[in-house]
Each structure stands twice: as structure tokens, then as C-alpha cells.
Structure 1
Amino acid sequence: MVRPRTPLLSRERIVEVATAIVDAEGLDALSTRRLARELGVQAPSLYNHFATKEEIVDAIGDAIVAGVDLSMLGRDPWPAALRGWARAYRAAFRAHPNVVPFLARGPARRPASLRLADAVYGALVSAGWPPAQATRIGAAMRYFVAGSALGSFALGFVADPSLYGADYPHLRDAHRLADRHSEVDEAAFELGLDALIDGLERRFAALHP
């Protein structure tokens, strides 16, 4: 990573470089010493902006969530809004898969994450969902989106036809999945999203006969 002759330190720059480290090597690779080295500064300089490494990780997570489009929530009919939001949320997760386990824990005190939760819940309640149901829907959607972004189902199968023999007769074409992982994973996400929304629409209709 090229360092400027005179390092300019800001919260935004710290988060940018910290995100690059985590994206490339995972959360365990991030330390204040490593981050300071990449920024070309001494570690104590970071403490003028963040008190702890945990605060830096919080800021990484919130910056990612801040990029999720929420414009459809409260604007579009709730089924279309949930679809659009789920796709935008998943795209943000997939761009930073190493941060997904951290984000999956919930919003904590992160402002952008709380705004997202508020927007989803508010859109559902305004559309006519009872508050308790809206809470459960928001949780179910987050479970689904986060799970779909944690890894590739298709890439979990090795491209070795000899592995799938008589012991696994129903997996005789599994070796082909890796080469088609993008298609398989995207189609699986859309299938699951359709099933979730279809089921919710039936439940909503039963609530409002």
C-alpha cells in the first residue's frame, strides 16, 4: 500500500484502510499496530480518533451499512420494498464478506445500523403489520440475508467427479456446481426471497381479510 509523504489522518481514512485490511485478510488481521503501519503513523495517533480497536470495527460495520439503499422503505408497497432492501443489504454484505459475522450480531450502538432497523420496522408497521410481527419479519430477513452472504453453497462442492460415486448417487452432478457458483447462488437467493415474501403476503392477507 503506497503511503503519502505526509500522512493525513482522519476517521474516514482510518476506516478506509481498516476495511481494506479486513476485506483482504479478515477481522483477526486487524490491530492498531498493523493499521498504524499501513497508515504510516504511530499507533498512539489512532487514539485521537478511536479509543479502541472495537470502536474501529464498529465504524467499519457502520460505514458498510450506511451504503445500503433504504429509499424504497416507506415508499414502495411493503413486498416490493422488502425485496429491494434485501437485495441492497445482501450486496453490501457480499462486498465485505469478512465483516458479515460481526454485522450479523445486530446494530448495537451503530447509527447507520440503527437507522436501517428503524426504517425496516417503521415501513412494516406503517404498512399494517402488527409491531410484534414487524420485529420478527425484520429478524427473519436479516437471518436470511446474512446467511446468504456468509459463503457460497455451490463452491462448497469440489470439482472432482470421482468423489461423487456410488456412496452419493444423488450428487453425481455436484462437481459441476463450482463452475456455476454465481448462477446457482444468485438463483438460490432469489428463490428463498420469493418464498419468504410469498409466505408473508399470505400471512398479511390473513391479518387483513
Structure 2
Amino acid sequence: MGRPRTPLLDRERIGATALELIDEQGEFSVPQVARRLGVQTGSVYHHVDGRAGVVELVRERVSASIDTATLGLRPWDAALTAWARSYRAAFAAHPHAIPLLMTSPVRAPKVLRQYEQAVRLLLDTGFPMAEVMTVITALENLVLGSALDLAAPETMWELPPDSPGTENLARALAATGTGRADAAFELALDAFVNHCRVRLAPPAPHSGRPAHSGPAASADSRP
């Protein structure tokens, strides 16, 4: 019997299967991946460096949906905003993967190259080297938290009828329209980008002589 034209096992199939399991049950194990693929667990380890290697295949698969062309847009704030929206959409499609990927070090080469693009964008814009990763981490916290929020119920607060002491909360909930998660994300993203603009702005020049008080001021005013 000849060898099958399509390999029974490769890194792409391993990553896809692990992501399927995560989407279904919120977690995966290498033996589960092997069983679903109809192979021995040891066969999976021939293609990846342990469970951490499978996690990175999952990261690559989820991140592949992020439009990295957004990082080439100009001005910088348009690029950062578009990247954040695409990033959120990619991870919102797989919310169960977020806790796993947020708590595992990033090693996947394709994903690291995307971070390199983001770092270069911020450096070219004028952010100090020491602040670049802080800006990226803060943006990711916003994006991934909002991606989880998209998987939550539209209404996260359930008040019993005539609930005492929550009258203002009830009115605020009644006044809230649909698309709560999207509206909250856009508000937070706008605030984040505006804060970045402020940090980039040069300090305002001092006008006039510095103010003095007390005896020194009187002495300076003498002819």
C-alpha cells in the first residue's frame, strides 16, 4: 500500500484540533488531540515541543486572523486603532483560548514578527524605548478583556423586581442601548489612544520668568 497523499499528522492539523477542543471545552490535552486525530500521543510529540508547543500552534492559528496590514497605516493612531479592532475580532472568535494564551509566554515566530511590527510603529512614532512594551501590554489588556466581554451576555446585571437600593442602576440599565460591549470597547480605545497622544506631545514651554514668593521676590523686584 502506498503512502497517503495527505499526511495523517502535521503541525497545522495539530493546532487546528487543539483549538477545536479549546472552543468546545475551554482546555485541551495532548492525548485528547491525539485521540481526535486517530494517532498515538507520541506521534504528536514528534511534531511539537510538548504541550507548550501545541499552545503556540494555537496562538499562531488565532493570531493569523489579525490584519497585520493595519500596522502599516498612517498616521500612527489610525494604525494602532485598526490593529486593536482586528486583534479583538480575532480573539473574540475564540474566547476560551484567551485565558490560556494570556498566561503563556509568546514564542511563536509568526506572532513575534507581528509584535516586531507594532514595536517599530511605536518607535517610529516617537515613543521612548522604555515605554513601548508598556503601551503594547496596556492595549492588549484592553483588547483581550473586551474580547471576553463579547462572549458575555448582553445584559450582565440582573435585578429582581423592585430591588431596593438599586434604583439608579435600574435606570442606567434601562437607558443603555444594544451593543454594550462594542460601545464600551470603542470608548476605552478612544481614551487609550488619546492618552498616548498626550504622552507624545512635547511639554508646553514655560512663559515668562518663574514666579517667586517671599523675600526673594521682593529682592528681585528692586532696581
TM-score relative to the length of structure 2? 0.78
Greater radius of gyration (CA) = 2
CA contact (8 A) 2:72 2:79 kept: yes
Which residue number in structure 2 is paired with residue 26 of structure 1? Answer: 26
Which residue number in structure 2 is paired with residue 170 of structure 1? Answer: 168
Counterpart of 1:57, as a letter, is V
CA contact (8 A) 2:91 2:98 kept: yes
Once residues 48 and 131 of structure 1 are traced to their aligned partners in structure 2, the CA distance between those partners, rounded to angstroms, is: 39
Which residue number in structure 2 is paired with residue 193 of structure 1? Answer: 189
Counterpart of 1:92, as a letter, is A
Which residue number in structure 2 is paired with residue 64 of structure 1? Answer: 62
Shift of 1:184: 0.6
Counterpart of 2:185, as a letter, is F
Q: Please state whether the residue corresponding to 1:150 is helix, strand or coil.
A: helix
Once residues 129 and 105 of structure 2 are traced to their aligned partners in structure 1, the CA distance between those partners, rounded to angstroms, is: 18
Which residue number in structure 1 is paired with residue 202 of structure 2? Answer: 206
- Aligned positions of 1:34-183 closer than 5 A: 34-105=32-103, 107-151=105-149, 152=152, 154-158=154-158, 161-162=160-161, 165-173=163-171, 180=178, 183=179
Root-mean-square deviation (CA, aligned residues, Å) is 2.7
Count matched residues: 198
Once residues 190 and 78 of structure 1 are traced to their aligned partners in structure 2, the CA distance between those partners, rounded to angstroms, is: 17
Q: Please state whether the residue corresponding to 2:22 is helix, strand or coil.
A: helix
Confirm whether residue 17 of structure 1 aligns to residue 17 of structure 2.
yes
Q: Which has the higher helix share?
A: 1
Q: Closer, same or farther in 2 for the Cα pair 1:138/1:153, shift >3 Å?
A: farther
Deviations 1:49-94 (A, max 9, x none): 1242221112101221233112122432111001000001111110
Compare 55-64 and 81-90 and name the one that shifted more: 55-64
Deviations 1:165-200 (A, max 9, x none): 1121222157769993xx110011011111111222
Once residues 108 and 98 of structure 2 are traced to their aligned partners in structure 1, the CA distance between those partners, rounded to angstroms, is: 15
| Structure 2: segments with no counterpart, 5+ residues | 1-5, 206-223
Once residues 200 and 95 of structure 1 are traced to their aligned partners in structure 2, the CA distance between those partners, rounded to angstroms, is: 28
Q: Please state whether the residue corresponding to 1:129 is helix, strand or coil.
A: coil
Once residues 87 and 189 of structure 1 are traced to their aligned partners in structure 2, the CA distance between those partners, rounded to angstroms, is: 9
Determine what percentage of the aligned residue pairs are the same residue. Answer: 37
Which residue number in structure 1 is paired with residue 217 of structure 2? Answer: none
Once residues 161 and 38 of structure 1 are traced to their aligned partners in structure 2, the CA distance between those partners, rounded to angstroms, is: 45
Q: Closer, same or farther in 2 for the Cα pair 1:76/1:199, shift >3 Å?
A: same
TM-score relative to the length of structure 1? 0.82
